[in-house]
Structures are given as structure tokens and as C-alpha cells.
Amino acid sequence: MPKEAHARIKINKLLEAAGWRFFDSSQGKANIALEPNVKLTQAQVDAMGNDFDTTSNGFIDFLLLDESNFPLVVLEAKAEGKNPLIGKEHARKYAKSQNCRFIILSNGNLHYLWDLQHGNPHVITRFPQPGAIKGYARFQPDPKRLVAGATSVVMGLVAAQATI
């Protein structure tokens, strides 16, 4: 347990360095919720395996909020000696329960950022700032529009080729 406490102290400092706030200040209101309780279905609890509590409640280590106090990022903390990726599936379930797109997995020394809409977690050297993650969340290209645009470009090239 002391190793997880050491990891959390490091994580606290990394969050503050990135501009996240535990308390209201002149920079804005607090945007970190510590260990909020979330409801999980029995199927979700069962899927987590034997090492998870048998209760239908869980606790998110850190829930990072946007300026309107809506959940933005789930941060799953692990003890310093553990690989943060072992918390991946727990964090995914928590993120889905909160409608969060982003997850940070950390043991205080090694950190991963995971965008649930774009593949697997990748290593980061520092935590994202609130504005950066919010801006990233806003960028959501429309795949149908991209395909339609690419199709019209290809059709234009084909038509131009035919006139040559």
C-alpha cells in the first residue's frame, strides 16, 4: 500500500503541473474528483474477474472534469511497482460508465494516454493540460464526409484523365 500512496503523490504533482486543480482557486474551480463512486452492472463486475470486489459499485481513482463539471478523463492509478496497463480494462469500464473518451493509466513513473475512439494506449511523458484534452475531444471528423470528399476528388481525376 505505501507504494500506491507514493504513486498517488507523484500523480497529484503531475496533475497540478499540467493545470488540473484539486481545489477552487483564482485560476478556476476544482476540476478533479477523487474516487467518485460509480455504478457497475453485475455483468461488468463479473467480466473484471476474481480480483475485483463483488459489489456493484466501484471507485475511479481520479476523474478529471471539464469546465462544466462533466467527466472528461478517467485516471487509473497503480502502485509504483505495477505496470499501469494492468488497470486498462477496469478503467475502460469506468470511462464508459461516465461517458469519458479518454483514460490515463499511471503508476507515478510510467503513464499512458488512451483515446478510446482511436486504438490503444500510448506512452506519455507528462499529463495533458485541461485545454489540450478538451480541444482534442472536440476534433471529430465525419468519416462519411471524408469518404465523399475523397470520392469526388478521385472522380475528378478520372474525368481529367479521360480527356487527355
Considering the entire predicted model, what is its pTM? 0.71
The range of the structural domain enclosing residue 91 comes to 2-162
Count of domains for the chain: 1
The CATH number given to whatever domain includes residue 48 is: 3.90.1570.30
Helix (H, G, I), strand (E, B) or coil at 30: coil
- Quick: pLDDT tens for 4-56: 889 999 999 999 999 999 999 998 999 999 987 555 455 544 554 544 443 34
Cα separation of 108 and 106, whole Å?
5
Residue 94 CA: distances (Å) to CA of 4, 14, 75, 106, 157 = 19, 21, 10, 15, 47
Cα separation of 156 and 154, whole Å?
5
- DSSP state string for 101-131: SEEEEE-SSSEEEEETTSSS-EEESSPPPHH
